[in-house]
């Protein structure tokens, strides 16, 4: 899925101070603060000599060194400059050939349509009509310039007092052009793209696709929800292509027009110019009278905040306030889908490099006497059992380092931040660690949701994040047209691969011919990714499952499971969370189902055994962790490997008085991977964050729980999934999941 290029003007309320390494000026723009960061660079708020504000996007020099990137950036500038409309944000300056290419667009201090609807609810009919007319005018100008925008969505519409503005031409293309994107790549934002985009029918994507997106936009503005719903990407794409839109709540006078915009066939949709003609009230009668009062108040407050912004002192020594200046290369580090800008004074210097890597005029940093390993974990929320295990594993690794390396030039501390399993506070919890200059790497997060929310903090600061429990693929998988991940090392398989290994584990039972696969959407990202992996795994084995999708928090599992049994299933696969797996386990028992039952990571744990009781007996559960007690007792382990596991067990029992919980050993290993590298490297120069992710990624490490090796994306190589059977109320380790389907190996079809 292609993601729009960064550079969208951000909420002025989120304006961040410039870092010491940031420039104070770019060409004729005096920089007042940072609006945000993205995969291509940093977006600053700039002011011209005459007082106009601009969003100034500056790319990383490392990015600009890539030939295809510079071509894409130049293309974005050229396409944006083609559009002449009062309802499209104009480009006010650019230099695609600069060492760090930059582009400035007029700054709009109002909220996006998406933000306004989330904060204040749907817009009234007149506002929707004016919104639609203005955006249609902007699209008419886009299409007249021979372009297709391809990403008309609420986040790309900014609301100003005198009308809306269309922004972001990062993935626009010339009509009929296909060379810059893969023919089978879906480009745009699910829920606001046309069927031809959803099916990647590149030859059919033209101006009518923008009209379809405008129809989605109008429905969203009028009702507060996208017309094809929300949820998993695959479900959104399917509904866009096959289902009728949900237009309940769209005002009657607009209903026919919105329906026509949402026609499945491109030729059946009106043109942007025709829409302008049908929305007669297409401009505000007076400033700000086109929006509800709460939205107007937001615009006014942000405009006032912009007027109150003072000038600032230069951030780089010797930079004249009004002189053109470019950002130093030492200020930037490519760090994944959100750009990372390193803060001088924040511990962000060149790894193992004794001198500054910029102009050579600054002294080398003094070596730190104390470094810290951070832990970002859920210690008091829904996944606290895992989070506390992770904190214990990290603490043991740090204590071991300090005991073994008493002559090291530095000591290690452990700094812990509790995100409570709440994505709304995860970013702040992460920044408590990433803004601490002593924190060189962080173990975490515990969950997918908090990981995605916290990721920008690590990307901005250049701090490696190592996870032993977050399997969401987008933590490491980036858009093919954007920068690679250089922030996260994932010590477990992503959910799609884990689902594949689960399916292949099921093929070890030769009697399975028609497994029933239930996708339960309480945790939607997890469930659809697991289902995708299961689908692929069974396809490789030549097995055709019976699939069933149920809404979040469905409770009538006796009926649901009964229907699956009536469909002839001989095995059951639960792709959902623990609470619904308990309901499924009870229903299967009550209905007398005797076939094997399988489930995955988000069910694994002692709470499933306790809550399901006897109904859990006989289940097979795949998890990304090993029981260290069972591993130490395994006679097939090499003596050296068994000793590593036993030493860890002894240390845990001595420190905590019990055997370790699941996820403790893997967290111990991952932190020891970091500390082992730090101990080896300290003798060669001052340690810093820069370059550490890549250095760790290249390690081949054997720890208490097994071996760790990462691919170029930062994902774990190998299987990394382990199969357990529930026997007498406990998990019995059966071994690693198979690396390919058993049926395929045996030739069974």
In this predicted structure, which of 7-21, 269-283, 351-365, 726-740 has the lowest mean pLDDT? 351-365
Helix (H) or strand (E) holding 36: strand 29-37
* Residues 6+ away with beta carbon under 8 Å from 396: 648, 651, 652, 655, 664, 668
pLDDT at position 62 is 64
Residues 45, 102: one domain?
Answer: yes
- The answer as to whether 468 is a domain residue is yes
pLDDT at position 731 is 97
- The answer as to whether 330 is a domain residue is no
Strand 722-727 to 730-736 pairing: antiparallel
pLDDT reading at 183 higher than 80 = no
Residue 193 or residue 625, greater confidence: 625
In this predicted structure, which of 78-87, 178-187, 738-747 has the lowest mean pLDDT? 178-187
Gap between the Cα atoms of 512 and 514, Å rounded: 6
Gap between the Cα atoms of 632 and 646, Å rounded: 6
- The answer as to whether 729 is a domain residue is no
Residues 616, 585 contacting (CB under 8 angstroms): yes
717-to-120, 139, 207, 346 alpha-carbon distances in Å: 46, 46, 43, 32
| Model confidence pLDDT, tens digit, residues 316-346 | 333 333 333 333 222 222 222 222 222 222 2
Gap between the Cα atoms of 160 and 108, Å rounded: 7
- The answer as to whether 120 is a domain residue is yes
Gap between the Cα atoms of 308 and 33, Å rounded: 13
| Model confidence pLDDT, tens digit, residues 408-450 | 888 999 999 999 999 888 999 999 999 999 999 999 999 999 9
User: The tokens 């004729």 sit on which residue?
Assistant: 28
Residues 694, 606: one domain?
Answer: no
What is the rounded average pLDDT of the residues 236-258?
Answer: 91
Q: What percent of the chain has pLDDT over 90?
A: 55
Q: Which residues pair with 376 in a beta bridge?
A: 417
pLDDT at position 337 is 25
pLDDT at position 285 is 45
Which of 291, 320, 345 marks a domain boundary? Answer: 291
pLDDT at position 63 is 63
Q: Residue 415 in 3-state DSSP?
A: strand
- Name the band, by pLDDT with cuts 50, 70 and 90, for residue 187: low
Residues 77, 197: one domain?
Answer: no
Q: 512: domain CATH number?
A: 3.40.50.2300
Q: What is the CA radius of gyration of the chain?
A: 28
What is the rounded average pLDDT of the residues 711-715?
Answer: 94
**Catalytic residue numbers?**
151
Which of 282, 309, 336 marks a domain boundary? Answer: 309
CA angle 674, 365, 432 (to 5 degrees): 55
Residues 46, 32 contacting (CB under 8 angstroms): yes
pLDDT reading at 508 higher than 80 = yes
- Name the band, by pLDDT with cuts 50, 70 and 90, for residue 67: low
Mean pLDDT of the chain: 83
Which tokens sit at 15? Answer: 């304006």
Helix (H) or strand (E) holding 629: helix 628-632
Residues 456, 338 contacting (CB under 8 angstroms): yes
Q: Residue 710 in 3-state DSSP?
A: strand
Which range of residues forms the domain containing residue 575? Answer: 495-623+737-746
Residues 516, 418: one domain?
Answer: no
Residue 639 or residue 181, greater confidence: 639
Which tokens sit at 741? Answer: 């389907």
Task: Measure CA of the first residue to CA of the last residue in the chain; give whole Å.
Answer: 33
| Model confidence pLDDT, tens digit, residues 461-489 | 999 999 999 999 989 976 544 568 999 99
Residues 356, 330 contacting (CB under 8 angstroms): yes
Residues 713, 650: one domain?
Answer: yes
- The answer as to whether 74 is a domain residue is yes
Residues 70, 117: one domain?
Answer: no
Residues 514, 489: one domain?
Answer: no
Residues 593, 649: one domain?
Answer: no
Residues 70, 204: one domain?
Answer: no
CA angle 698, 702, 707 (to 5 degrees): 80
- The answer as to whether 562 is a domain residue is yes
* Residues 6+ away with beta carbon under 8 Å from 271: 140, 143, 207, 208, 211
pLDDT at position 719 is 93
pLDDT reading at 2 higher than 60 = no
Q: 203: domain CATH number?
A: 1.10.510.10
Q: How many other β-carbons are positioned within 10 Å of the β-carbon of residue 747? A: 7
Gap between the Cα atoms of 737 and 501, Å rounded: 6
pLDDT at position 174 is 53
| CB-side neighbour CA atoms (13 Å) of 403 | 8
Threshold 0.75, pTM exceeds:
no
Q: How many domains does the chain have?
A: 4
Q: Residue 444 in 3-state DSSP?
A: coil
Residues 101, 117: one domain?
Answer: no
Q: 48: domain CATH number?
A: 3.30.200.20
What is the rounded average pLDDT of the residues 719-747?
Answer: 88
- The answer as to whether 317 is a domain residue is no
pLDDT at position 684 is 72
Residues 657, 679: one domain?
Answer: yes
Residues 683, 536: one domain?
Answer: no
Gap between the Cα atoms of 102 and 109, Å rounded: 21
- The answer as to whether 230 is a domain residue is yes
- Name the band, by pLDDT with cuts 50, 70 and 90, for residue 202: confident
């Amino acid at each position: 899925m292609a993601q729009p290029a960064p550079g969208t003007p951000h909420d002025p309320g989120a304006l961040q101070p410039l870092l010491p390494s940031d420039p104070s000026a770019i060409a004729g723009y005096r920089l007042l603060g940072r609006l945000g960061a993205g995969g291509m660079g940093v977006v600053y708020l700039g002011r011209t000599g005459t007082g106009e504000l601009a969003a100034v996007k500056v790319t990383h020099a490392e990015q600009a060194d890539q030939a295809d990137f510079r071509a894409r950036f130049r293309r974005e500038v050229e396409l944006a400059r083609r559009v002449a409309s009062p309802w499209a944000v104009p480009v006010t300056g650019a230099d695609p050939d600069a060492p760090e290419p930059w582009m400035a667009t007029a700054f709009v201090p109002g909220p996006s349509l998406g933000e306004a609807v989330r904060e204040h609810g749907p817009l009234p009919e007149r506002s929707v009509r004016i919104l639609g007319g203005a955006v249609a005018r902007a699209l008419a100008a886009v299409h007249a310039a021979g372009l297709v925008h391809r990403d008309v969505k609420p986040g790309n519409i900014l609301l100003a007092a005198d009308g809306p503005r269309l922004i972001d031409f990062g993935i626009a293309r010339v009509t009929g052009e296909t060379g810059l994107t893969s023919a089978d790549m879906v480009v745009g934002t699910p829920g606001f793209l046309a069927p031809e985009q959803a099916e990647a029918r590149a030859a059919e994507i033209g101006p009518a696709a923008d009209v379809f997106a405008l129809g989605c936009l109008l429905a969203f503005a009028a009702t507060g929800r996208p017309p094809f719903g929300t949820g998993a990407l695959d479900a959104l794409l399917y509904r866009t292509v096959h289902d009728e839109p949900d237009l309940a709540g769209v005002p009657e006078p607009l209903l026919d027009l919105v329906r026509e915009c949402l026609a499945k066939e491109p030729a059946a949709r009106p043109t942007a110019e025709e829409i302008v003609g049908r929305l007669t009230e297409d401009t505000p009668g007076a400033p700000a009278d086109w929006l509800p009062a709460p939205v107007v108040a937001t615009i006014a407050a942000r405009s006032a905040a912009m007027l109150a912004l003072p000038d600032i002192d230069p951030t780089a020594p010797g930079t004249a306030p009004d002189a053109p200046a470019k950002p130093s290369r030492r200020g930037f580090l490519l760090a994944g889908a959100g750009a990372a800008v390193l803060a001088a004074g924040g511990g962000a210097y060149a790894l193992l490099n004794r001198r500054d890597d910029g102009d050579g005029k600054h002294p080398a940093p003094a070596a730190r006497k104390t470094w810290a390993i951070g832990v970002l974990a859920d210690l008091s929320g829904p996944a606290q059992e895992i989070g506390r295990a992770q904190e214990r594993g990290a603490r043991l690794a740090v204590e071991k380092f300090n005991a073994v390396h008493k002559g090291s030039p530095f000591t290690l501390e452990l700094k812990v931040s509790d995100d409570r399993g709440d994505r709304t506070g995860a970013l702040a919890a992460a920044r408590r660690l990433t803004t601490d200059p002593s924190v060189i790497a962080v173990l975490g997060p515990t969950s997918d949701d908090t990981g995605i929310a916290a990721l920008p903090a690590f990307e901005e600061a250049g701090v490696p994040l190592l996870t032993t429990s977050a399997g969401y693929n987008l933590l490491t998988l980036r858009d093919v047209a954007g920068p690679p991940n250089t922030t996260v090392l994932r010590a477990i398989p992503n959910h799609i691969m884990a689902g594949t290994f689960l399916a292949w584990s099921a093929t070890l039972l030769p009697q399975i011919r028609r497994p029933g696969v239930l996708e339960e959407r309480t945790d939607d990202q997890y469930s659809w990714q697991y289902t995708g992996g299961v689908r692929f795994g069974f396809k490789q084995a030549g097995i055709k499952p019976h699939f069933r999708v149920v809404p979040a928090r469905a409770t009538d599992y006796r009926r649901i499971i009964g229907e699956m049994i009536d469909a002839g299933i001989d095995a059951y696969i639960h792709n959902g969370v623990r609470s619904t797996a308990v309901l499924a386990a009870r229903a299967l028992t009550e209905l007398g189902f005797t076939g094997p039952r399988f489930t995955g990571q988000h069910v694994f744990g002692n709470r499933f055994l306790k809550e399901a009781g006897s109904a859990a007996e006989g289940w097979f559960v795949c998890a990304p962790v090993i029981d260290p007690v069972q591993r130490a007792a395994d006679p097939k382990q090499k003596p050296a490997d068994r000793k590593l596991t036993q030493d860890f067990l002894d240390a845990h029992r001595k420190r905590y008085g019990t055997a370790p919980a699941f996820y403790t050993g893997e967290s111990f290993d991952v932190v020891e991977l970091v500390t082992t590298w730090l101990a080896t490297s300290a003798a060669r120069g001052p340690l810093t964050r820069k370059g550490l992710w890549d250095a760790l990624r290249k390690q081949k490490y054997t720890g208490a729980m097994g071996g760790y090796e990462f691919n170029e994306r930062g994902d774990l190589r190998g299987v990394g999934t382990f199969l357990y059977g529930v026997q007498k109320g406990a998990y019995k380790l059966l071994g690693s999941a198979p690396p390919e389907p058993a049926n395929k190996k045996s030739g069974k079809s």
